[in-house]
Chain A
Amino acid sequence: MKHKDLMQFLLWLRNGIAVCVTWLLILLLGICKLTGIKALSVNMLIKLVLSISGGVLLFCLIFTRLWFRRMSFSRRLTMFMLTISIYEGGIFYWIGWFIGQGSIGQWLLYALLFLGMYASCLGLYHSYSKKKEKAYTKALQLYQQERMDAHGTL
């Protein structure tokens, strides 16, 4: 375990928890305002904050180089989607949002939500790759031009 990787992991963990908890509170405030809820249970808030922190921890473990030094983005994403879907399922039971076995339709909807997110992430990554493709090809052409100027040949 490298010190640099550990520091990156801790930095991501700190920033991730800060961002996600802030957004959770903003969303909760919005929902409460819209639906007219006057009070929130402290227990529920603790559970939500803990579950979000767990999700961030999972994300940081999979996407930083602390545990998996050499792994492609697609593999990391697949692993994250699989683990987070199981984790979230467990958390929803703990919080009390999921009760009993549920129907096949409900589980299909649950799976579809994660598949949708997975496909969106892959799509975003694809468009990011397109940008990279342009930048790399430009760098290549620049290199070839430099060589052409210096040696009169590619």
Chain B
Amino acid sequence: MDVRIEEGDYTHTVVVIQCQKETEPIICLKRYIEKYEPRIQAYEGKKLHYVSLDDIWYFESVDNKTFLYLDTAVLEISQRLYELESLLPPSSFIRISKSQIVNIGKIKSLRPELNRTLLATLYNEEQLVISRRYVAAFKKRLHIER
């Protein structure tokens, strides 16, 4: 099977499967693509969960363990934060401190603090501090001029 990606001035992403006949494997592939959603493996004790990236508020590293925070649950994952940085879509997630990566889509507001950090308030009213070391990169991502 030949897999190609064509980049262009498209407004929507369309996946076209070119085949001789719509066979069962082709139908399965179509369904798989339709249902595709980036997910991450996470554990609640020994129970395995596949978590959609859109549901994650932020990742945090505590005592050499990495956790992801959802609406009502905190799950453990096997990856370290530096591994996550290369795995996660950079347009959605950004490192904000030595121990946290946040989902930009979950941030409600930003407030500069006196000590040159930024205080990010999430939609669930939780507050995270964007440390001085990461403020410049964060501003650059949001196209905020210094």
Q: Using a CB–CB distance below 8 Å, which chain A residues touch chain B?
A: 70, 72-74, 125, 129, 132-133, 135-137, 139-140, 142-144, 147, 151, 153-154
Contacts and interface: CB of A to CB of B under 8 A. Distances in A.
Given A147-B91, A147-B92, A154-B54, A140 B143 contact: no
Contacts of B129: none
Nearest to A134: B109
Contacts of B65: none
B92 A72 contact: no
B114 A140 contact: no
Nearest to A71: B116
Interface string B98-115: 000001111111111111
Interface in B62-117: 91-92, 103-116
Contact of A136 (B92, B103, B106, B144): B144
Nearest to B116: A72
Contacts, number: 59
Given A72-B115, A129-B112, A136-B118, 11 more contacts: A70-B132, A72-B116, A73-B116, A132-B112, A136-B142, A139-B142, A139-B144, A140-B104, A140-B110, A140-B142, A154-B106
B107 A74 contact: no
27 contacts: A72-B116, A73-B114, A73-B116, A129-B111, A129-B113, A133-B110, A133-B112, A136-B109, A136-B111, A136-B112, A136-B139, A136-B144, A139-B142, A139-B144, A140-B104, A143-B104, A143-B141, A143-B142, A144-B104, A147-B91, A147-B92, A147-B104, A147-B105, A151-B91, A153-B105, A154-B54, A154-B106
A74 B114 CA distance: 6
Nearest to A143: B142
Contacts of A139: 142-144
Interface of A is mostly: helix
Interface in B110-145: 110-116, 118, 132, 139, 141-144
Which of B113, B116, B132, B142 lies at the interface centre, i.e. has the most chain A CB atoms within 10 A of its CB?
Answer: B142
A139 B109 CA distance: 10
Contacts of A142: 142-143
Contacts of A125: 114
Contacts of A154: 54, 92, 103-106
